[in-house]
Structure 1
Amino acid sequence: MLNWKQTEEGFLICPEGRVLDQYEGDNISRTRGGNLHISQMYAEKGHCEGCPRRSQCFRFGKYRRVGKNVVMEELQGKVDENLGCEEGKGLCRQRSIQVEGAFGILKQDRGMTRFRRRGLKGVKMEFLLNCLGLNLYKYHLFWLKQRANNLIGKLN
């Protein structure tokens, strides 16, 4: 369904060329994470009578129904809009550099290539301690740099 073509009005077209344009109502639910999921359900007028792919399409029910998640499409459109502008592209590049750098420091400089604890709770605690140590190290370097700048400023 994701690869199906669409008409100008936004209705889906199946691989056999049938347009699913009969609106059948909304299906409202929540995901496991608690997010709202609204699907607009559509079907084809003749319920795909005489279609050679009918047996492949129909798993449940008397005819093919297709849902469009309008909330997800709206959010994806906003994400595409935000990432399409120059500021969004710059933020994406900056974020990937920052994250990779932090993991690189932990792995290469700090020697954290394996966890030494077992279980999710132990691994989480070990990782958080390593992140805390990295942040303290960065703050210490920042403090030393500020101190050196202050001493140079006093000498001049």
Structure 2
Amino acid sequence: MKSFIKPINYEKSKTRKWKNDIGRFENMTYLQGEDAYLCANGRKLKAERTYQSKTKTGYKSEKTYYACEDCTGCPMKENCIHGNHFKKPMEERTKHLTVAKKFLRQRQEDRKRITSEEGIELRMNRSIQAEGAFADIKADMNFRRFLCRGTENALVAVDLLAMAHNIQKLHHKIQHGTASRHRIPVKEAA
């Protein structure tokens, strides 16, 4: 299975503010042979250690910790190092960052998929279909609240609503002769 869902930061990463932020590792040059990042001032952030982290849900990920050797006298330090809740003054701090390489690789693959022609078409159709289904159920079927108690009864009510919506949609497609068409091409929608 392939996912064509936008990452959380997809829209934000297209903004000028994100692209001009020199403190983000996404905007730094990665030196693959040395496993280091090159900051805007030309200083290297070398990999110091790799460690395992575990989330609340139990997912384990491997992260690499990068740190700059020396940031003293850097004119870009205020723009590069973020965070105001440190006991150390800005002059004594050095730039460091943490990168989950597997996550980064998966995110890059996702970005390629969603920006492909197929990804654009699927995302456009999903936004049309999902919003329309909620609108039909709430407005056309006048469903505003569950009239039963318990999770099982609510699931039965949702299943009945979904079946009614699908039958109504199929009837509409048969009436208009579009039963064989499943996706709207991008050129028609634009």
TM-score by length of 1: 0.63
Distance 1:96 1:7 in 2: 35
1:107 to 138, 142, 146: 138
Cα deviation, residue 129, structure 1: 3.7
Cα deviation, residue 39, structure 1: 1.5
1:13 equivalent to 2:13? Answer no
1:97 equivalent to 2:119? Answer no
Higher relative CO (CA 8 A, sep ≥ 6), structure 1 or 2?
A: 2
RMSD: 3.8
1:1-156 residue pairs with structure 2 within 5 A?
Answer: 3=21, 4=23, 5-9=27-31, 11=37, 13=39, 17=41, 19=43, 21-46=45-70, 48=71, 56=84, 58=86, 65-116=96-147, 126-138=157-169, 141=171
**Residue 45 to residue 101, structure 1, CA distance change in 2 (3 Å):** same
**Residue 112 to residue 68, structure 1, CA distance change in 2 (3 Å):** same
Distance 1:57 1:75 in 2: 32
Distance 1:118 1:49 in 2: 64
Cα deviation, residue 123, structure 1: 5.2
Distance 1:68 1:99 in 2: 34
The question of whether the paired residues in 2 share the 8 Å contact of 1:58 and 1:64 is answered with no
Distance 1:101 1:8 in 2: 43
Amino acid at match of 1:24: E
**Residue 38 to residue 88, structure 1, CA distance change in 2 (3 Å):** same
Distance 2:145 2:43 in 1: 54
**Residue 29 to residue 134, structure 1, CA distance change in 2 (3 Å):** same
Amino acid at match of 1:82: R
Amino acid at match of 2:28: Q
Comparing both structures, which one devotes a greater share of its residues to helix? 1
* Bigger Rg over Cα: 1
Cα deviation, residue 87, structure 1: 1.4
Distance 1:50 1:57 in 2: 21
Instruction: Work out the percentage of aligned pairs sharing the same amino acid.
Output: 24
Q: How many residue pairs align between the two structures? A: 138
Cα deviation, residue 29, structure 1: 2.7
Unmatched tracts of structure 1, length 5 or more:
146-156
Q: Secondary structure of the equivalent of 1:11?
A: strand
Q: Secondary structure of the equivalent of 1:37?
A: strand
Distance 1:98 1:7 in 2: 40
TM-score by length of 2: 0.54
